[in-house]
């Protein structure tokens, strides 16, 4: 029999999930930022290709993807502020509520983006 | 006894047998009222297989020697009732995570306690020659309250087993040792504040903590090592800015 492969159930608590989301959104943004900068550079160098790209972004699927990115960015930002508050302000016992507030802020930003999307 | 008595309720308990590699072996144990997980393990060792290795001493939640992984969660087994963990009549008991397995349910806690030493988790009297007879410590003072909040640690290793940062970085001092250092940093009778903060600020110290809060979620004494570590993060940064570190 191999090593001790049993589920680590101790990870299943809200603040751990907040950590997982923060890490995942960070990685996703790290992939997105170079793409973002590249397309911006197109606007300067090759206006025609950039316009074609902008047309592509009118596609509802791409719009959904953009909303997801806004959600990730807002979530990562709010999560970072949560950590700074946790570590540099006095301890507060309502940590789970702080995680919920963080998620709420991210969701609100995502919704605002979708509502303002043409 | 009449033949119509219902059969005695049974519990299927799977217990880790072996060292780092091994397997979970199922045993059938009669279910009793107020039975603890430690009662079940003791029953298996006394009645079914005397070669089962495990550790306990006080049986009343004081010594910190009986911690094991119960259905994936580290717990003090002498104070964990089977009713609370065996929803479906099954319990899986393994050794604590993040420590070398000696055999079966017994882990080597030496690395855990060595880290308390590395973290300078021992009291250093500021008044070594005893010239001052009594230290006056107002119980309501901020520092004393911060120290009191972390002082009841029984050294069970539950927090250490729950901590992912320990799993990722085997040098990390861990929640219990850092919690101990935080009590000393807040102890006005301690004379080694700078050493404590320097040890806590090191490569394997408080700044490694990701604030996952697993330690505080599972500490059987209800302590909050995450808050202690956050306190160390603040104090070490303040000392650094003041040029004391
Ligand atoms: S809060 Fe820090 S010490 Fe506690 S479990 Fe998480 S990473 Fe480990
Ligand atoms: S802090 Fe809590 S979980 Fe960690 S060793 Fe002390 S009593 Fe056990
Ligand atoms: S046997 Fe002492 S704490 Fe459980």
ipTM for this prediction? 0.74
Strand partners, B93: B15, B70
pLDDT of residue A1: 38
Q: Give the domain ranges of chain B.
A: 10-107, 110-241
Mutate to test the interface with B, among A5, A87, A97, A99 (most CBs of B within 10 A): A87
For B130-167, letters b (16+ CB in 10 Å) and e give eeeeeeeeeeeeeebebbebbeebbbbbbbbbbbbbbe
pLDDT of residue B192: 94
Q: Which atom of ligand 3 is nearest to the CA of B67?
A: 4
CATH code, B10-107: 3.10.20.30
Return the CATH architecture of domain B110-241: Orthogonal Bundle (1.10)
Q: Which residues of A touch B227 (CB under 8 A)?
A: 91
Q: Give dist(CA B61, CA B59) in Å, integer.
A: 6
- Global pTM reads 0.88
pLDDT of residue A2: 41
Beta-carbon contacts of B234 under 8 Å, excluding residues fewer than 6 positions away, are: A87, A88
User: For a substitution probing ligand 1, which of B112, B215, B217 has the most ligand atoms within 8 Å of its CB?
Assistant: B215
Residues of chain A with pLDDT under 50: 1-3
pLDDT tens digit at each of 245 positions of chain B = 455 676 678 899 999 999 999 999 999 999 999 999 999 999 999 999 999 999 999 999 999 999 999 999 999 999 999 999 987 778 999 999 999 999 999 999 999 999 999 999 999 988 766 666 678 889 999 999 999 999 999 999 999 999 999 999 999 999 999 999 999 999 999 999 999 999 999 999 999 999 999 999 999 999 999 999 999 999 999 999 998 88
pLDDT of residue A65: 81
- By the 8 A CB rule, do B167 and A8 touch? no
pLDDT of residue B217: 95
Q: Which residues of B touch A2 (CB under 8 A)?
A: 21
In tens, the pLDDT along A12-45 reads 999 999 999 999 999 999 998 888 888 888 888 8
Task: Answer yes or no: is the C-beta of B197 below 6 A from any ligand 2 atom.
Answer: no
DSSP string, B126-158: S-TT--SS-----TTSHHHHHHHHHTT-----H
Chain A contact present for B218, CB below 8 A: yes
Give the count of beta carbons closer than 10 Å to the beta carbon of residue B9.
9
Q: Give dist(CA B190, CA B121) in Å, integer.
A: 11
């Amino acid at each position: 029999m191999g090593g001790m492969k049993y589920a680590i159930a101790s990870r299943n608590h809200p603040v751990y999930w907040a950590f997982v989301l923060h890490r995942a959104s960070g990685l996703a943004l790290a992939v997105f930022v170079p793409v973002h900068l590249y397309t911006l550079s197109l606007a300067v160098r090759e206006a025609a290709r950039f316009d074609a790209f902008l047309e592509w972004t009118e596609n509802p699927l791409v719009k959904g993807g953009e909303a997801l990115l806004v959600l990730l960015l807002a979530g990562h930002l709010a999560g970072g502020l949560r950590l700074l508050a946790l570590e540099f302000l006095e301890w507060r016992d309502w940590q789970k509520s702080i995680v919920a507030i963080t998620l709420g802020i991210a969701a609100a930003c995502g919704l605002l983006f979708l509502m303002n999307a043409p | 006894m009449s033949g119509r008595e219902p059969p005695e309720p049974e519990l299927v308990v799977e217990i880790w047998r072996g060292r780092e590699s091994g397997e979970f072996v199922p045993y059938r144990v009669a279910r009793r009222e107020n039975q603890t997980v430690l009662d079940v393990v003791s029953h298996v060792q006394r009645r079914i297989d005397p070669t089962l290795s495990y550790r306990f001493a006080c049986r009343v939640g004081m010594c910190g020697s009986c911690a094991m992984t119960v259905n994936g969660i580290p717990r003090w087994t002498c104070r964990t009732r089977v009713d609370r963990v065996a929803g479906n009549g099954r319990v899986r008991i393994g050794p604590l995570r993040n420590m070398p397995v000696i055999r079966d349910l017994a882990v080597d806690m030496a690395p855990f306690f060595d880290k308390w030493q590395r973290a300078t988790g021992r009291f250093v009297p500021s008044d070594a020659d005893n010239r001052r007879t009594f230290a006056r410590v107002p119980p309501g003072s901020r520092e004393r309250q911060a120290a009191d909040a972390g002082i009841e640690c029984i050294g069970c290793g539950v927090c250490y087993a729950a901590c992912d940062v320990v799993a990722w970085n085997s040098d990390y001092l861990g929640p219990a040792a850092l919690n101990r250092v935080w009590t000393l940093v807040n102890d006005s009778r301690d004379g080694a504040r700078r050493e404590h903060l320097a040890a806590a600020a090191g490569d394997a110290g408080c700044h490694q903590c990701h604030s996952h809060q697993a330690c505080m979620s599972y500490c059987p004494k209800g302590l909050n090592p995450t808050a202690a570590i956050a306190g160390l993060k603040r104090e070490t940064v303040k000392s650094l800015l003041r040029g004391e570190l």
